[in-house]
Chain A
Amino acid sequence: MSDSIGTPVIKKDHCDKISGRALYTDDWPMDGVLYGRILRSKKARARIVDIHLPPLPEGCYIIDRNDVPGVNRVHIVKDDCPVFADDTVEYIGEAILMVAGPDKKETGRIRDSIEVEYEELEPVLDVLKSEECFFEYGCSRGDLDAELERADFVYEEQFRSGSQEQAYLEVQGMEGMWQDGITSVRGSMQCPYYVHRALAGVMAVDEDHVRVLGEVTGGGFGGKEDYPSILAAQVAVAAKKTGKPVRCVFERREDIECTSKRHPSLYNIKAAVRDGRVTALDVDIVLDAGAYTTLSAVVLQRAVIAAEGIYNIPVLKVRGRAMKTNTVPNGAFRGFGGPQSFYALELLFDHIAQKLGRDSLEFRLEHCAQKGDPTSTGGIFHFDVPIPEMVEELSKLCGYGEKHKKYAAEQSGRYRRGIGMSLFYHGAGFTGAGERDMIKAVLRLKKNRDDNVEILSANMDIGQGLTTTFAKIAARELGLPLDRVTVADPDTSFVPDSGPTVASRSIMVVGELIRRAAARLKEQWVSGEECIVEERFREPDFVLPFDPERFEGDAYPTFSWGVQAVELETDTLTGYTRILGAWGDYDIGTVIDENIARGQMEGGFLQGISYASMEQIPADKSGRIRNSSFSDYLIPTAADIPVLETIFHPVEYSDGPYGAKGAGELPTAGGAPAWLMAMQQIVCRELNCIPFTTEDTLRTLGEVSE
């Protein structure tokens, strides 16, 4: 074994998955299990006047709000959407009731024959017409009015971004059971204890009477952070009513139509420019939250915090609001508000540079924050900001300088090229005081009599490789071979609450608890004896404690940094754009496994690129999503991209395991701005709207040539 922890190993879940033996939620036998099918609202906003049920065959059940033993609200951040609709529905796709029965097709037929009488109400489909603000956050420094007054000029621009579907390959699925007063649920999810807590409220039992088991999960990307709590509540209520296990696995269309997505955004930004520098930023953010609050509060916080980009601007004012609309609720998607902000800020700085006749990259680097500078929330960048070195490394790798200059010169002919580079970060760990005040992670290591060690944590391997990386950390600290350490099934009846699998926190926060627990276990090690060691989260000493009321302090202890470049070629006749190259340089601290980390960077980068270029969710006038299948909601295939090149620039973090920081979300933040900047060179126009599709390309090329 090589000395570096980053040296790749064969992933612990490799064999089960490649051989088709791994059992995902819907792969378990259906013996005695009822199928649950959900009847959903066809109206964006309406009062339910009446529901006409067909006669039910023996063994079939209808489950609705009257069957909910506790509160008919699923707790996410707040007590949120109803388990089953009360008197009104707030979006197309909202659950009204469930039909459960022993035959899949018949259950579906019964569901489809139910008639709902609605009294339609005027829905709010345009976020700008919304008058209901779910959340508002802001931060500021300095005297904005004075700085706008002193400026040589004030630059103003609006940036828009659209929605994005997580499109995990395994749809949402959950099975509930009710036996002897205990509610058990197992399924596809990121956060067993979020589900656990939500179930206690819905079933009106204490937490000892709930058990949640996270199954092998086929991708999440944030999409299985909030929604599984809702589906779990529905199958749990159904299981109690029917006295039988009830499984509900979505159809792809159902999944796209009714589960939470990335928040569409609108940024209005004013920038004061004086003596060739940006001296003040006034950023107004509106996020379209959809019909319920889900995780909008925390997504908005991240968007607000990242609204200064990677820059340090003397005067800053950010105001962000998450507004209600009668559309599918938006929630967590890899990056969590960050991608919207970095896209807007990178393009803003690029456009100001153009206006000043400056080189974009040089201009941006001049404003880059440095170690010791204040963060947007009055915290401090405690560690080195390696962006300048990373820009140099990546430029060398992809030939950015020459290409950028070459493509800036006028291009004629059918094919045109462009290249763009983005600079971004991801605040590692839960936002604000979340780790300290809300999550309070607990982790256990259990040494068995055979001297093998189990990691007891509630974090889910959703493809990002935790069963391997967690085990690598413990094995290394204990000096054991990797096959002697395993990660226990995430079952809330015997793993402690190490927190949710979100916010790029698992390696940095939980991984460090594993390392510390392993160090203690090593000290106490007695061969042949059982031993359990527990570790709890402690805020690092250097952190300026975050005050949630004032929205002030260190929102994150540290940051992961990224630089990405994208090179494009467009066929001006068809508008079709080909990616010639995509390169990324990342500081995620020490890399725990080079293959796994690289896989994370590549997958996230591609999601960022397609966010900018092809993924969109148009709705018709009634608010119905028009493209709810993979035939019209397009995601990239192997043929759509060339090799994604990845390099690492590790800056070790004092409080992460072996110096590791957050990784999973970082790469998703830079794809859109890099792609759009490359596109700007092709269409010779400043762009401020994503997605920018093939049709947009053709239209813009036409306009420019006129």
Chain B
Amino acid sequence: MIEFVLNGEKVSWEGPDTERLLDVLREDFRLTGVKCGCKEGECGACSVIFDGELANSCLIPMAKADGAEIMTIEGLRELDCFRVLDRAFAEPAAVQCGFCTPGMVLAAYSLLKKNPHPDENEIRDGLSGNLCRCTGYRAIVEAVKLAAKEGGKW
């Protein structure tokens, strides 16, 4: 039995240690805001906050989740600071097809939590593990700048 905290709630899960966290979150916990873009740790669509760090859930075997604290977009959207990110992404229309978006928002959150006033390069670096094929990234970077300016309890 594997126990962990998921979006603020204690949960338990039974199954093979080698299952991917990504599949468990999507299929067993029905948290479909966690997206699958590659399953190889390259796209960031499956991003979660794992013990306070941004992580690709497709690379995490369930054995590692035991005792961990995990937050997905479904958890983040309940926090006050989500409203800041929501508005900041809306303003420059940083969401196109939206498939990269939940991961991108978690990456932005994780960046701002560590560094509430990042400069352009720090933002680009902080988002560089998350691929977006639609936007050209300018609007997303701008969204993070807006969120930083507005400030929030990250």
Contact = CB atoms under 8 A, between A and B. Distances in A.
A602 B138 contact: yes
B128 to A, nearest CB: 4
Contact of B136 (A17, A170, A644): A644
Interface in B44-103: 45, 72-74, 77, 85-86, 89-93, 95-102
Given A18-B89, A217-B97, A602 B131 contact: no
Interface string A1-33: 000000010110111111111111011011000
B134 interface: yes
Contacts of B139: 595, 598-599, 602
Interface stretch (A136-144, A373-381, A459-467): A459-467
A19, A221, A629: which has the most chain B beta carbons within 10 Å? Answer: A19
A17 B141 CA distance: 18
A67 to B, nearest CB: 28
B101 A599 contact: no
Interface string A40-80: 00000000000000000000000000000000000000000
Interface string B127-143: 11111111111111100
A216 B77 CA distance: 20
Interface stretch (A233-241, A363-371, A635-643, A681-689): A635-643
A382 interface: no
A605 B133 CA distance: 11
Interface size class of B (residues with CB under 8 A): 35 or more
B133 A21 contact: no
Contacts of B85: 18
B40 interface: yes
A423 interface: no
A611 to B, nearest CB: 13
B117 interface: no
Contacts of B129: 637
A637 B131 contact: yes
B136 A599 contact: yes
B96 A22 contact: no
Given A17-B101, A630-B43, A603 B134 contact: yes
A630 B133 contact: no
A455 interface: no
Contacts of A29: 30
B11 interface: no
Contact of B89 (A14, A169, A602): A14
A641 B37 contact: no
B105 interface: yes
Contact of B97 (A19, A462, A638): A462
Nearest to B107: A638
Given A18-B101, A218-B98, A606-B136, A170 B93 contact: no
A244 interface: no
The binding surface of chain A is classed by DSSP as loop
B38 A465 contact: no
Contacts of B35: 24, 169-170, 218
A252 B98 contact: no
A225 B45 CA distance: 23
B42 interface: yes
Interface string B103-134: 00100000000000000000111011111111
A603 B72 CA distance: 27
B98 A630 contact: no
A10 B90 contact: yes
B4 to A, nearest CB: 19
A188 B58 CA distance: 22
A603 B131 contact: no
A644 B31 CA distance: 34
Given A630-B131, A638-B140, A169 B74 contact: no
Interface string A202-233: 00000000000000111101000000000000
A11 B43 contact: no
A537 interface: no
Which 7 pairs show the lowest CB-CB distances between chains A and B?
A: A20-B33, A463-B97, A17-B98, A602-B136, A218-B99, A630-B42, A595-B93
Given A24-B99, A170-B37, A462-B97, 5 more contacts: A168-B133, A170-B97, A595-B92, A630-B40, A641-B137
Interface of A: 8, 10-11, 13-24, 26-27, 29-30, 166-171, 216-219, 221, 251-252, 462-465, 593, 595-596, 598-599, 601-607, 629-631, 635-639, 641, 643-644
Interface of B: 26-27, 30-40, 42-43, 45, 72-74, 77, 85-86, 89-93, 95-102, 105, 123-125, 127-141
